[in-house]
Structures are given as structure tokens and as C-alpha cells.
Structure 1
Amino acid sequence: NSTVRGALSIHGSNPQYLIEKVIRARIYDSLYWKEHCFALNAESIIDKAITLHAIGGTYDRQTPTPFICLTLKLLQLQPEKEILMEYLLAEEFKYLRALAALYIRLTFRSMDVYEILEPLMKDYRKLRIRHPGGYSLTYFDQFIDDLLKEERVCDIILPR
């Protein structure tokens, strides 16, 4: 559960610390993390992201969603900017794009975030959100708008 060697600090700290300690501890204890996130790399995480069927942070009894588990794994791996851009360009996989967008919002500088994420506002596909009450629907452009404007998305406090 450690960050990759030689990883850069993001916003002045370990990148994993962008996810709160309580949620991070629950992710490390979750079955999805132990079974599916072990030994993932920037290439193999794509296969896991393609199989996602919802975004979200935690649901019933504070169980972390696979989406938030993969977000933490990306924070550990710190893929290069070119790889993240390829994730965003894969239009047929909307949950992979959402994962990359959240990672970019968490780790990039504010000017880069707006330049990269604003063009994604033209994507109007539906996304499922998993939350403690079950599932609900949103749209991809609304998710991007939330990333740009809200303080908390998917149970993660976003950097200012």
C-alpha cells in the first residue's frame, strides 16, 4: 500500500494523502482492493476501469466503490501525462474517462485542469453514481462541472 518509488509529491505531500485517512483505510481493507488492485500498472488498470459500472466514493456501511479504489491505485502509480490523455481520449469507455478526469482534478495545476477538463463538457452520456442510498444517474458533463466547481466529489475533498 505504498506509493511507487521516486513518486513526486503532489500539493506538498504523498499523493495517497489526497484521499482522507478514514476512506483510505477502508479501501485498504476492502475485498476489491485486495483481489483486483494488487500488482496493477498503468496498462492493466485500463481493464479494471472498463468493467466499472458506476462512479462514487462509498456506499452502504462506508464500503468503498471500485471507482474510488482505482482512483487510489492511480494515485499510487502516478502515470505520465501522456497516458492520462490516452485515457481521456478513449471515448467508448466513459468510466475510464471519468476516472482519468478525477485523477487530473486531484493532481494537476488549476490552469491545466481547466484546459484539459473543459472540452469534456461536450460529453452528455449518462453515468451511474453509487451512494449509500443505492444508485442514481447523472451526466458526464455534470460530473465534469462538479469536478470544476464543487469542494467534494465522490467523497473526496478536492484540492483548492
Structure 2
Amino acid sequence: MANRPVNDAHHTQGTNLQYLVEKKIRNRIYESKYWKEECFGLTAELLANKAMDLRSVGGVYGSNIKPTLFLCLTLKMLQIQPEKNLIIEFIKNVYFKYVRVLGALYMRLTGTTMDCYKYLEPLYNDNRKIRIQNRKGDFEFIHVDEFIDELLHSGQVCDIILPRLQKDHMLEEIGLLELPISDLEEEMEDVKSSEEEEMDQDQIETNPSEYHRLQSYKDPDRGSLKRPYRGMENPSPKRRKIANSQERCHSRSPRESSPNTEPVPYAVPMSIL
């Protein structure tokens, strides 16, 4: 009774989801101490607490086929079948990497092809290290993105045969799946755009256009453009003399007189008298 699925459990191709784990391995999990003591009567809410206590991933190890805690919780999830929203929260969890990996494996086993690519491909940006226990019982280090790549492109992970997935390029061709964009590609695009702006600025300084040459003659006082004329920078002595005379003529009024002098009366010639 304790190893049966819930009453409203879903089935894949008419079979129980627990059958995704091989019978020999499944029986070893049922006989393990961790399953009997920690997984008995475990609900979906309490499963998250157990997942936060994980310190490694893996399948079975040793000559007598001992299951890892990670594999036991995976089988428990296949038995109780938590809601999809809870699995998505597992995958989006950034604080507990083993919770994320556990949710990713369950999504790969039970989710559709679109859900697997939609929720697992963003995890390629997670490069944190996790411990994995091999068949000999030794621990090795891999990264989260390596584990996700095995889920999407390998046929067996943690001694569980994965269901087949449709190729991602086929879904992209028919428009059902968008091309994934990694954080590295976005950073490279930002660097490329900044380099192009610097190259454009250098090209303007070395070979300026007519507009930028006119900009260099902008008068800061008037805020307008001055068009350069020939001879303005180094005028000849004759030009300077003419310019100075024009300035003196414009500076004085034609009827300007001294304030202390009176107008001279008109003098009549003596021959008229």
C-alpha cells in the first residue's frame, strides 16, 4: 500500500510513472532504510524540506546496488506526483541547487517536449558545481549546466532511462520553439555594440564629415554655426587695416560732438557786407 501511487495519479502511455525506474532498482529503493523512515507518508509540502537537505546527486552505487537519497526522492515524486507549479518553483529555485536539479529531473521524466525545452534550457546559465556519486560510490564534481545537457541529450541519467524527446531544431523550424539566448551571448552583443561606437567615434576624429567639420566652428556665445572663409584665420596686413578702419567708423556716430563744446555760429563773408 505504501508503494502505490496516489488515487488521482497520472499515467504515461497507460503505465504507472514509478515504472520509469527499473524494477530491480525500484525494489532496492523500497527496501532501503531512507525510504522506510524518511519517505513514508511524505507529502509534496514536506518533500521540499527533504530536497533542501540533499548534498549530492546520483543513481545507485556499490556491488549490492544501493540507491542514493537523490534517487529515492525522485521515485517518491513519481509516486505522489506533485503539481506542475511546485515543480516549476523547484526549477526556478536559485538558493538550493540540488532542489533545482531534482525538479529538472522530474520535469524531464514527466513533462512534455515543449515543457522540457522551455524550463530546462534556461538552466544552461547555471554554472555552479554539484557533487555526483558514481557507481563505485566515489564523489565527483560536475556543473549544473552539464547535468541539464545530459537530461536533454542523453538517454539515461542517474540510472533512469529517460523518455525520448523530439529534436529541438525541428520545433524551431515549425515555429513552436524559440532560439535560446544565453547570458554570454547578451554580454558579447553589448561588448560588440560598444566597440562599434568607439570605432565610429575614431573614424569621425580621423576622417570627419562636412557636418562634423562645421560643428568644430560652432560659436559658444551665439550657439550657431560659423562658416569658415578663406583668410579668416591669418588675414593679410591690408585686410587688417581695412577691418580696423571699418570698426572705427562704426564705433563713432556721424553727429557725435563733445558735451563741453557749443556749436560754432555761422560766419558771414566780408564781401557780402
Mapping 1:130-141, distance limit 5 Å:
130-133=133-136, 134-141=138-145
Give the distance between the partners of 1:146 and 1:76, measured in 2 at CA.
24
User: Which one has more relative contact order, counting CA pairs under 8 Å at least 6 apart?
Assistant: 1
In 1: Cα distance, 2:26 partner to 2:13 partner: 18
Summarize deviations over 1:21-78 as a string: whole Å, max 9, x none: 0110000001111111011111101111111110000111210000000000000111
1:46 maps onto 2:48 in alignment? yes
Aligned length: 160
> What amino acid maps onto 2:78 in structure 1?
L
Alignment of 1:94-113 (within 5 A): 94-113=97-116
| Ranges in structure 2 where 5+ consecutive residues have no aligned partner | 165-273
Q: Which has the larger radius of gyration?
A: 2
TM-score by length of 1: 0.97
Matches within 5 A, 1:1-40: 1-40=3-42
Matched position secondary structure for 2:141: strand
1:142 is matched with which residue: 137, 141, 146?
Answer: 146
Aligned identity (percent) is: 52
SS at match of 1:43: helix
Q: 1:154 aligns with which of 158, 171, 183?
A: 158
The separation in 2 between residues aligned to 1:106 and 1:62, in whole angstroms, is: 22
Q: Is the 8 A contact 2:91 2:119 kept in 1?
A: no
Instruction: Tell me, yes or no, if structure 1 residue 125 matches structure 2 residue 128.
Output: yes
Question: What is the Cα-based RMSD across aligned positions, in Å?
Answer: 0.8
Which residue number in structure 2 is paired with residue 84 of structure 1? 87
Amino acid at match of 1:79: P
TM-score, normalised relative to structure 2: 0.58
2-structure distance, mates of 1:158, 1:52: 22
Q: Against the structure 1 CA distance between its residues 126 and 141, is the aligned structure 2 distance closer, same or farther, given a 3 Å change threshold? A: same
Moved over 3 A (4+): none
1:12 shift after superposition: 3.0
Q: Give the partner amino acid of 1:129.
A: I
Q: Which has the higher helix share?
A: 1
Task: Show the counterpart of 1:71.
Answer: 74
Letter aligned with residue 145 of structure 1: D
Shift of 1:132: 2.4
